[in-house]
Structure 1
Amino acid sequence: MTKPIPKNRTDYPHLLPITTRWSDNDVYGHVNNVVYYSYFDTVVNEYLLRHGVLDFSAGETIGLVVETHCNFFAPLVFPEPIEAGLRVEKLGNTSVRYEVAIFAQGSDDAAAQGHFVHVYVDRVTRRPVPLPAPLVDVLKRLVTA
């Protein structure tokens, strides 16, 4: 298996500053691998909330995470400020594949990058449903070639 090359921050149309926390570090003195998935979740949901297309308490449709992946290239350490980059790699009928990268402040190359797939389902039946039009409109801004 070949390891991907770190992407550049210019590859991501949306960047979110995130403050690392003391509890993000592990006994090895760097941000623990599981915390990166929290950063992925944060940048995706912040974007959706900011654009008014996520109503996690009463929306008819909800996005369920069905797949995640992350490659690590460089360690990050608390109290280092970071940024999460977000783009959409694939906009399907019922699903979205988000590409996410985590950057140390001032670095152009990703310290980690991966993906996050949401399948949209009916809140009650949990059956897949087409992506709502307002969601599609907001996500199209993040689609990359």
Structure 2
Amino acid sequence: MTRRSAFRTRDDYRTACGIPTRWMDNDVYNHVNNVVYYSWFDTAVNAYLLEAGLLDPEHGTIIGLVVESQCRYGRAISFPEVVTARLRVGHLGTSSVRYEIGLFAGDSPDAAAEGHFVHVYVDRTSRRPVALPGHWRDALARIAAPSPSP
């Protein structure tokens, strides 16, 4: 049996987004349903893109399509906890980005969950991959994870 790797800490991420839980997020087991975690991942990524002036949902020429996602759960979250979604870029490719997100409940130093989204950026009309423009690369590099030590 393999051991599960430890979750990252708050300091492993580069930016944060506060998200209040809602009564409707809880399921019959009195914890936030797993599908909500993916919504929080999406919120964290898009909040950063909007804050950085990159995302224009209505008129932007490029859009990000999710081609991969994953979540690992560490502990349950329940309403009325406030979640802090912490974000970093794990990989910055030519037309793709791996966003890594940690979800932290309240003041807990330990992640309740962590996961990732991979977006491939495409032309809005043709849906063909496009190289990320320089200003996108600069803004995403600002929240990139440090390179591993040799």
What is the TM-score with the length of structure 1 in the denominator? Answer: 0.97
What's the secondary structure of 2:44's corresponding residue? Answer: helix
> How is 1:116-135 mapped onto 2 (pairs within 5 angstroms)?
116-135=117-136
Unaligned runs of 5+ in 1: none
Q: Which residue of 1 aligns with 2:66?
A: 65
Give me the whole-angstrom Cα distance separating, in 2, the residues matched to 1:2 and 1:50: 38
Q: Which residue of 1 aligns with 2:141?
A: 140
Displaced runs of 4 or more, over 4 A: none
Give me the whole-angstrom Cα distance separating, in 1, the residues matched to 2:109 and 2:136: 29
- 1:89-131 deviation digits (Å, cap 9, x = unpaired): 0000010000001001101111000100100000000000001
- More displaced, 112-121 or 131-140? 131-140
What's the secondary structure of 1:142's corresponding residue? Answer: coil
Give me the whole-angstrom Cα distance separating, in 2, the residues matched to 1:113 and 1:2: 17
Question: In the TM superposition, what is the alpha-carbon distance from 1:87 to its structure 2 partner?
Answer: 0.2
Give me the whole-angstrom Cα distance separating, in 2, the residues matched to 1:32 and 1:2: 25
Give me the whole-angstrom Cα distance separating, in 2, the residues matched to 1:113 and 1:6: 7
CA RMSD in angstroms comes to 0.9
- 1:46-77 deviation digits (Å, cap 9, x = unpaired): 00001110011011110111110000001000
Question: In the TM superposition, what is the alpha-carbon distance from 1:5 to its structure 2 partner?
Answer: 1.0
Aligned length: 145
The answer to whether structure 1 residue 103 and structure 2 residue 100 are counterparts is no
Unaligned runs of 5+ in 2: none
What is the TM-score with the length of structure 2 in the denominator? Answer: 0.94
Give me the whole-angstrom Cα distance separating, in 1, the residues matched to 2:142 and 2:5: 25
- Same amino acid, percent of matched pairs: 55
